[in-house]
């Protein structure tokens, strides 16, 4: 979960018997090396290293200007001079420089979101002995991933928090719920399928296995754990209990992602054609986010979370992992 966790949560999940994942999309090369070093020191078993695989965006000056014009009233309200806006935080795609940093750590598993890296990079990763996972949000994407040699497919349903892993389509109407998507992908491919989206407790895990899943991927359920790095604002938004409303928005990064509805999403979206391509939309929102957060408001903050926040508890990640593990058929609770 990029932006909401680092090595500590990944290690805690691995050490509790799950497969902890380190999200690397927001890390520069030095931070990546540091996090991998920490994870290797803390984890007592195998872990997964996760990357985004988006194509670098083409900067469109007119679109960027239109986006800033849409945000102009907010700049005025918060006393921000839009001429001071610099390039926003980037999102790193998996490339040869990243592979150079990861290689010495020889992760047991590498997972990708938004499709796969270039074929020569995939061959390189496979040469380390890593199993390769990738998200699919449609049956077509799952078939494509199997044809391109992926070992395990993550069926990411519409309930899931964070960015949609969609890569063959940008049509949100193709995106369906986990328990509609999972059995269709299980029938369509021969590789193991992991269910993701809305799974927050043992009964959800058991239901996913009943529909043919070989495993589950949970994100949202870990957001309140002490090992997560979710901000206080993010935690407070989740703790609104039954009043948590999420939506899919492209306003905060340029790509559709599910998060708790904030003021920007309510007033400009949640979806808008004005938002520049991923991740360019972020730059113009970043100063609004920091000014509002300074005042204790989450009006412009990405509050990524899935539809099912019922599993979110401020308990150690091991407790959440053990609860989920109770749902795995034939697996006694640790």
Ligand X SMILES: Cc1cc2nc3c(=O)[nH]c(=O)nc-3n(C[C@H](O)[C@H](O)[C@H](O)COP(=O)(O)O)c2cc1C
Interface pick for ligand X out of 220, 249, 253, 321 (rule CB under 6 A) = 220
Of residues 92-151, those binding ligand X (CB under 6 A): 113, 135
Does 23 sit near ligand X (CB under 6 A)? yes
CB of 165 to ligand X, least distance (A): 6
Does 193 sit near ligand X (CB under 6 A)? no
Helices (H), the chain: 7-15, 29-42, 61-78, 96-102, 119-127, 139-147, 178-188, 202-210, 232-238, 263-268, 281-294, 317-325
CA distances from 136 to 175, 182, 202, 290 (A): 10, 10, 23, 33
CB of 311 to ligand X, least distance (A): 8
200 in Cβ contact with 308 (< 8 Å): yes
Does 262 sit near ligand X (CB under 6 A)? no
CB nearer to ligand X: give 16 or 196.
196
Cis peptide bond N-terminal to 259, omega within 30: no
CB of 223 to ligand X, least distance (A): 6
Distance between CA atoms of residues 5 and 228, nearest Å: 5
Q: Which stretch binds ligand X (CB under 6 A): 75-83, 138-146, 167-175, 190-198?
A: 190-198
Provide the residue count of the chain.
334
Beta strand pairing call for 215-217 and 131-136:
unpaired
Does 324 sit near ligand X (CB under 6 A)? no
Paired tokens of 175 = 């995106």
Q: Which stretch binds ligand X (CB under 6 A): 34-42, 53-61, 211-219, 319-327?
A: 211-219
Q: Which residues pair with 248 in a beta bridge?
A: 258
Does 159 sit near ligand X (CB under 6 A)? yes
> Count of residues binding ligand X (CB under 6 A)?
26
Query: Using CB under 6 A as the criterion, which residues of the chain lie in contact with ligand X when the complex forms?
Result: 1-2, 4, 23, 25, 50, 113, 135, 156, 159-162, 196-199, 217-221, 304-306, 308
């Amino acid at each position: 979960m990029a932006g909401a966790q680092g090595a500590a949560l990944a290690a805690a999940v691995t050490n509790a018997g799950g497969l902890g994942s380190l999200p690397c999309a927001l890390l520069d090369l030095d931070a990546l090396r540091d996090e991998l070093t920490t994870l290797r020191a803390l984890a007592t078993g195998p872990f997964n290293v996760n990357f985004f695989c988006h194509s670098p965006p083409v900067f469109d000056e007119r679109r960027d200007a239109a986006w800033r014009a849409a945000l102009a009233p907010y700049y005025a309200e918060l006393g921000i001079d839009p001429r001071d806006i610099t390039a926003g935080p980037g999102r790193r795609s998996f490339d040869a420089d990243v592979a150079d940093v990861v290689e010495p750590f020889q992760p047991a598993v590498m997972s990708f979101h938004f499709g796969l890296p270039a074929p020569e990079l995939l061959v390189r990763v496979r040469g380390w002995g890593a199993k390769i996972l990738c998200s699919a949000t449609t049956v077509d994407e799952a078939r494509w991933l199997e044809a391109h040699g992926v070992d395990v497919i993550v069926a990411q349903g519409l309930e899931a928090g964070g960015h949609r892993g969609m890569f063959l389509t940008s049509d949100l109407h193709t995106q369906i719920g986990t328990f509609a998507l999972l059995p269709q992908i299980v029938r369509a491919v021969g590789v193991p399928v992991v269910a993701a989206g809305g799974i927050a407790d043992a009964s959800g895990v058991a239901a996913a296995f009943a529909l043919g899943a070989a495993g589950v991927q949970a994100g949202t359920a870990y957001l309140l754990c002490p090992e997560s790095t979710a901000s206080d604002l993010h935690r407070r938004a989740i703790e609104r209990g039954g009043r948590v409303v999420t939506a899919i928005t492209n306003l905060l990064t340029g790509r559709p992602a599910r998060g708790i509805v904030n003021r920007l999403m309510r007033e400009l979206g949640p979806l808008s054609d004005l938002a520049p391509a991923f991740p360019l939309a972020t730059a113009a929102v970043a100063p609004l986010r920091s000014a509002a957060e300074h005042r204790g408001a989450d009006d412009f903050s990405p509050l990524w979370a899935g539809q099912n926040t019922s599993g979110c508890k401020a308990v150690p990640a091991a407790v959440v992992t053990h609860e989920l593990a109770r749902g795995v058929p034939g697996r006694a609770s640790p």
